Amino acid sequence: MEDLLDDFIAETRETLESLTNQLVEWERRPEDRALLDSVFRFVHTVKGSCGFLELPRLLRLSHAAEDVLSAARLGDVAVSAELVTAVLAVIDRIAELTEALETGVAIHDNDSDLIAAVLMHLQREGVVAGNGDDKYAPLEIIGEIQGSEPTLPGKSRSVRVSLSLLDKLMSGVSDMVLARNEVSRQLRKAGSSGDLDLSFARLSASVAELRDAVGMMRMQHIDKLFSSLPRLVRDLSIELEKEIDLRIEGSEVEVDREMVEALRDPLTHILRNAADHGIESAEERSAAGKSRIGHINISARQSGNQILIEVVDDGRGINIEKLGMRAVAAKVVTKTEWQQMSLRAQLNTIFAPGLSTADKVTSISGRGVGMDVVRSNLQTIGGTIEIENQESIGLKLTLRLPLTLSIIAGLSVRAGNQIFGVPRSSVVEMVSASNVNVKFEELGGEKIACIRGKRYPYKTLEDILGIQIGDQSIGESRTLIVMRPAVGATFVLEVAAVIDNEELVVKPGAPLVMANGLFAGTSLPDNGRPMLLLDASGMAAAMGLSAVPQDENGQSATEADVVSKGPSALLFVASDGRKQAIRLSAIDRMEDVNAEQIQFVGGRMRLSVDGKLYDLWEYDDRADDAVVNVLKLTDGDSSCYLAVREVLDIFSITGDIAPSAQPELHEGVITVFGEVVELRNMFAFFETSDRRRRKRGVAPLCFIDCADDSQWERTILAPLLTASGYAVSFDRNDETHAAIVLHRDLAIVDAATNDPRMLHLRDSRHAAVDNVASIYRYDRVGLISAIEEKLAVGT
Amino acid sequence: MTKTLYLIADLAGSRVAIESGLVESVVHVPDIVPAPMSDPSIAGIFALRSRVLTLIDTQFLVTGVQQRAQKGALAVVTEIAGHQYGLLVDRVHDVVAIDMKHVERSISAPQTWARYVTDIASHDGALVMILNTIALVSGQGALAE
């Protein structure tokens, strides 16, 4: 029983979380049937479980809500704002009581008021609540079946695990990886046998998989944090009687789990401030010539080794004069000091303890918890907050958070005898220092790098870090990395060599190490030797580049440059020995792979990288090379690899592109450095590439109407649909809300011809029944395109 | 009558005591990776299983001469303000209970040590300096204050 109760609590909590947004959405579009259905399903599930677990208070609440909602579903009751509010109040109480079940805290019992508020809607519409039970009896029965499996469709189950346990797991797995590497070194030394190698490879692969999984466990979409905000704003706007439109962008940005928790309070506070002090009342807004509805935009994005969260409102902004008066009154600054301060410094006094610009203390903000707390909360997780004020137009707050503990794509580079990590996001390109396109100029004793005619500030990493140039690098060609920091001008950093391209787990560095501003943290790669991660902005600062003013010039110069010079492309020698070119924008990166990673399976060459299979084009398996040069191509969604013999150079496409006689293979013919080469057509690599996975947020539900023992549907059709990215159900309860209904029984065709979701499958290639459109059941392509067509019509 | 357990170690040739509750372990440092441009009291960073620790050149703090820390050097692992550090020591002896009654109030630590020492106690007839680990990781910059 105890277990059941725990399950119930966890499940209810989880469903509530995912429901929050739908609730707000529902209020905006009360007529939306799907939303009404999910709210109904929730209360219904709660009701079912409570009855079973003997939780009378929850039972009564959910029962009342269910009655009203089911009447609303039947159209007997109009869904009004009051009804939504009443139902939300009940759902809130359900949430409180559920939490209380776990904590044992008593919650004041005024449930009957809430229930009365809900049921009032039934009476008002003349539907007597008592009747409901008989009337909706059939629904109840359906509900009980659902109740026995109370998960929403498409929702996976989860458990709660303590963070410390997760950390322990994470460090355990990391240790395991290091131990594996050690074993692998030992094996190589001992000269191992084939069998041993094979079992070790298996162990190795599963360790890698495990590590990936554990890494994912720590990361979380920032959506987890954002999902509660629409509800918050909704409640605020009702309380303050202001209309506020909240927009959220970048929910897919991944941050560390702990970060999500640490951000919750500051973000809530900022939103409260924006709604309460920032956004004016509708009258004030129209008087000021603004739309009556206030807007708050929240966006998150990853920029280099930082996560940026911006909160923008179009309210009245901060009145600097008023702020000054308050600051002086609160003895934060003296009057003279205030007058001498820069505008920015004046603005920043808002972060001083004990300051508020609100005229009156409301229940929403101004309770002594000020921006100082927001800032100090952010500082504890290594973040900063910036403020951009446009009085009477709006306010923009930018929160910058470190990527601490997150995983970034990085390069490992060598300077002197030491290896450093560089976040790949700040790398624009890499060029060999001996490349013909690279020239060095001198200006007042300082070197300036000139790549393809464009000049950049330049320094070697050894210079910046004050370390010796390593012995190995003498005579070797060094590498130039063009870097663009999150803020500031683009510059060139010279390193001895670029070693590898890898995923780096960023760990915080001790304050003493970080104090010089050059490093973003530390990382422990698989070889067990820790390395310092370079901070692009810190490097720029060390080169004496000022961050702000050059930025815009540099930026626009770059853009102008691109426009005048045309798109960049890569010149390479293809596997067949001919020189060819490919657009640079399509190349994710260049890699060297082992020939062992390449296999001819499933009808084509494939390359396995980190446990995933990719299509590999133009691999010449007669060449007996142990290492193969490949280009990773991407179209944004999917990736494939192209094997090449040699990478030559990067150039800009200038002049005309002469059309090709084989447009499917070549985009055209261009002239590069006086030679005529073919420009490869990207389309060809992706058009035929394996695209079975649908890229959509939610898998559409396909209901397959068949007998319980039908083998074909279960063993052939269902796996095909699942593999193509659809959810499949055989449960008749799902029929009503399925996006597609598939069946093979042409006898029922007449009854349901009108259902636009219906797809008929036939057993033979030829249509068996005239005047009924159907698809041969083994016509995979036809089937998928028919489903897509129906989905497209449905939306 | 407060008795606390201390780890007795040699540091820059002198006998010191570190409260044992603060000591996570004593390890031989694996490969040390230098941290360029950092505070001179930082000997580098090193990996201990899956964690990255900062190695403090304690000898530098006291004598002003940087130690050439090498692989295999002995370090006391401790966590301070959420970060993990290794404090380089010459040798570790034993964990002993020191009675706070035996704190010598009349003698103060030599000037170079004063910043890093909270108390001086006698143990087994010899004097030991009880270290303030937080001061050890606040770097040389703090000296100027």
Tell me: the pLDDT tens digits for A471-489? 655 566 788 899 887 656 7
Residue A339 domain-assigned (yes or no): no
Q: What order do you get walking across the sheet with B51-56 strand by strand?
A: B23-28, B74-80, B83-89, B51-56, B42-48
What is the structure's pLDDT at A795?
53
Residue A738 domain-assigned (yes or no): yes
Let me know: does A231 contact A237? Beta carbons within 8 Å.
no
Domain co-membership, A504 together with A641? no
Decide if pLDDT at A522 tops 60: yes
Do residue A513 and residue B33 have CB atoms under 8 angstroms apart?
no
Decide if pLDDT at A266 tops 80: yes
CATH number at residue A242: 3.30.565.10
What is the structure's pLDDT at B77?
93
Tokens (6 digits) for A96? 């409180």
Instruction: Could you list the beta-strand ranges (E) of A315-461.
Output: 384-390, 394-402, 407-415, 418-423, 427-432, 438-443, 446-451, 454-460
Do residue B42 and residue A513 have CB atoms under 8 angstroms apart?
yes
Do residue A529 and residue B139 have CB atoms under 8 angstroms apart?
no
pLDDT digits (tens, 9 = 90+) for A269-306: 888 888 888 888 888 888 888 888 889 999 988 776 67
- For chain B, the domains span 3-144
Torsion of CA A360, A365, A367, A372, to 10 degrees: -110
Which chain A residues are Cβ-neighbours of B71 within 8 angstroms?
Answer: none
- B15 CB neighbour count, 10 Å cutoff: 15
Treating both helix axes as pointing N-terminal to C-terminal, what angle do A194-218 and A163-190 enclose, rounded to 10 degrees?
Answer: 160
Decide if pLDDT at A353 tops 70: no
What value, to the nearest 5°, has the Cα angle with vertex A153 and ends A150 and A159? Answer: 60
- A645 CB neighbour count, 10 Å cutoff: 19
CA distance A19 to A582: 47
Task: Give me the half-sphere count of Cα atoms (radius 13 Å) on the Cβ side of residue A68.
Answer: 31
Do residue A529 and residue B141 have CB atoms under 8 angstroms apart?
no
Let me know: does A43 contact A144? Beta carbons within 8 Å.
no
Do residue A532 and residue B45 have CB atoms under 8 angstroms apart?
yes
**What region does A221 belong to: left with phi over 0, alpha with psi -120 to 50, or beta?**
beta
Cβ-Cβ contacts under 8 Å between A and B: the total is 81
Of A175, A509, A531, the CB nearest to B49: A175
What is the structure's pLDDT at A767?
66
Of B39, B49, B84, the CB nearest to A512: B39
Indicate the pTM of the whole model. 0.47
Q: How far off is chain A from B48, nearest CA to CA, in Å? A: 9
What is the structure's pLDDT at A768?
60
What value, to the nearest 5°, has the Cα angle with vertex A336 and ends A335 and A342? Answer: 100
Final residue of a structural domain among A381, A402, A423: A402
Domain co-membership, A181 together with A229? no
Domain co-membership, A443 together with A525? yes
Domain co-membership, A64 together with A190? no
Tokens (6 digits) for B44? 């580098």
Note down the domain range covering A761: 701-794
Burial annotation A66-98 (CB, 10 A radius, 16+ → b, else e): bbbbbbbbeeebebeeebbbbbbbbbebbbebb
What is the structure's pLDDT at A153?
47
Which chain A residues are Cβ-neighbours of B138 within 8 angstroms?
Answer: 512
Q: How far off is chain B from A209, nearest CA to CA, in Å? A: 17
Q: If you average pLDDT over residues A566-578, what whole number do you get? A: 81
SS3 B4: strand
Domain co-membership, A232 together with A173? no
Domain co-membership, A227 together with A217? no
Q: If you average pLDDT over residues A98-108, what whole number do you get? A: 75
pLDDT digits (tens, 9 = 90+) for B86-105: 999 988 888 888 877 777 77
Final residue of a structural domain among A402, A431, A463: A402
Decide if pLDDT at A652 tops 60: yes
pLDDT band at B71 (very low <50, low <70, confident <90, very high): confident
pLDDT band at A217 (very low <50, low <70, confident <90, very high): confident
Do residue A532 and residue B39 have CB atoms under 8 angstroms apart?
no
User: How confident is the prediction for chain A on average, in pLDDT?
Assistant: 76
What value, to the nearest 5°, has the Cα angle with vertex A746 and ends A745 and A747? Answer: 90
Residue A512 domain-assigned (yes or no): yes
Considering only CB atoms, which residues of chain A are within 8 Å of chain B? Answer: 170-171, 174-175, 177-178, 418, 464-467, 507-513, 515-516, 518-519, 522-524, 528-532
Decide if pLDDT at A532 tops 70: yes
What is the structure's pLDDT at B86?
92
Helix (H) or strand (E) holding A482, with range, is strand A479-483
Q: If you average pLDDT over residues A458-464, what whole number do you get? A: 87
Tokens (6 digits) for B110? 């030599």
Of A171, A511, A532, the CB nearest to B49: A171
Residue A664 domain-assigned (yes or no): yes
Tokens (6 digits) for A571? 């010149």
CATH number at residue A710: 3.40.50
CA distance B121 to A170: 42
Treating both helix axes as pointing N-terminal to C-terminal, what angle do A2-28 and A81-103 enclose, rounded to 10 degrees?
Answer: 160
Pairing of strands A612-617, A639-652: parallel
CA distance readout (Å), A234 to A94, A246, A290, A361, A434: 19, 9, 20, 20, 61
Let me know: does A317 contact A395? Beta carbons within 8 Å.
yes
Hey, of A495, A513, A526, which one would you mutate to test binding to chain B, going by the most B CBs within 10 A of its CB?
A: A513
Which chain B residues are Cβ-neighbours of A507 within 8 angstroms?
Answer: 51-52
If one counts the domains in chain A, the total is 6
Query: Between A192 and B28, whose confidence is greater?
Result: B28
The complex's ipTM?
Answer: 0.85
What value, to the nearest 5°, has the Cα angle with vertex A566 and ends A565 and A570? Answer: 105
CA distance A300 to A649: 36
CATH number at residue A91: 1.20.120.160
Domain co-membership, A446 together with A507? yes
What letter does residue A748 receive in the DSSP assignment?
A: G
Decide if pLDDT at A564 tops 50: no
What is the structure's pLDDT at A144?
35
Domain co-membership, A603 together with A530? no
Ranked by mean pLDDT, which of A56-60, A621-625, A739-743, B30-34 comes out on top?
B30-34
CA distance A123 to A132: 11
What is the structure's pLDDT at A303?
73
What is the structure's pLDDT at A151?
41
- Nearest alpha carbon to residue A562 among A432, A440, A682, A428: A428
For B83, which residue in chain A has the nearest alpha carbon?
A510
Decide if pLDDT at A561 tops 50: no
Q: If you average pLDDT over residues A211-215, what whole number do you get? A: 75
B51 phi, psi to nearest 5 deg: -105, 155
A567 phi, psi to nearest 5 deg: -70, 155
Residue A127 domain-assigned (yes or no): yes
What is the structure's pLDDT at A748?
63
Considering only CB atoms, which residues of chain B are within 8 Å of chain A? Answer: 30-31, 33-39, 41-42, 45-47, 49-52, 54, 81, 83-85, 137-139, 141
Let me know: does A30 contact A84? Beta carbons within 8 Å.
yes
Residue A326 domain-assigned (yes or no): no
pLDDT digits (tens, 9 = 90+) for A312-325: 998 888 888 888 88
User: How confident is the prediction for chain B on average, in pLDDT?
Assistant: 83
Residue A543 domain-assigned (yes or no): yes
Domain co-membership, A517 together with A374? no
What is the structure's pLDDT at A192?
65
Do residue B54 and residue A174 have CB atoms under 8 angstroms apart?
no
Q: How far off is chain A from B128, nearest CA to CA, in Å? A: 28
Hey, of A460, A468, A512, which one would you mutate to test binding to chain B, going by the most B CBs within 10 A of its CB?
A: A512
pLDDT digits (tens, 9 = 90+) for A679-711: 887 777 776 544 444 444 567 788 888 777 777
Final residue of a structural domain among A665, A687, A709: A687
Do residue B139 and residue A467 have CB atoms under 8 angstroms apart?
no
What is the structure's pLDDT at A138?
35
Query: Between A377 and A382, whose confidence is greater?
Result: A377
Do residue A513 and residue B38 have CB atoms under 8 angstroms apart?
yes
CA distance readout (Å), B10 to A398, B75, B121: 50, 11, 15
Of A236-240, A409-413, A635-639, the one with minimum mean pLDDT is A635-639
What is the structure's pLDDT at A474?
57
Let me know: does A383 contact A399? Beta carbons within 8 Å.
yes
- A734 CB neighbour count, 10 Å cutoff: 18
Residue A561 domain-assigned (yes or no): no
Architecture of the domain made up of B3-144: Beta Barrel (2.40)
Residues sharing a CB contact under 8 Å with residue A717, sequence separation 6 or more, in sequence order: A704, A742, A761, A777
Decide if pLDDT at A775 tops 50: yes
Residues sharing a CB contact under 8 Å with residue A528, sequence separation 6 or more, in sequence order: A178, A181, A182, B30, B31, B47
Hey, of B46, B83, B84, which one would you mutate to test binding to chain A, going by the most A CBs within 10 A of its CB?
A: B83
Decide if pLDDT at A141 tops 50: no
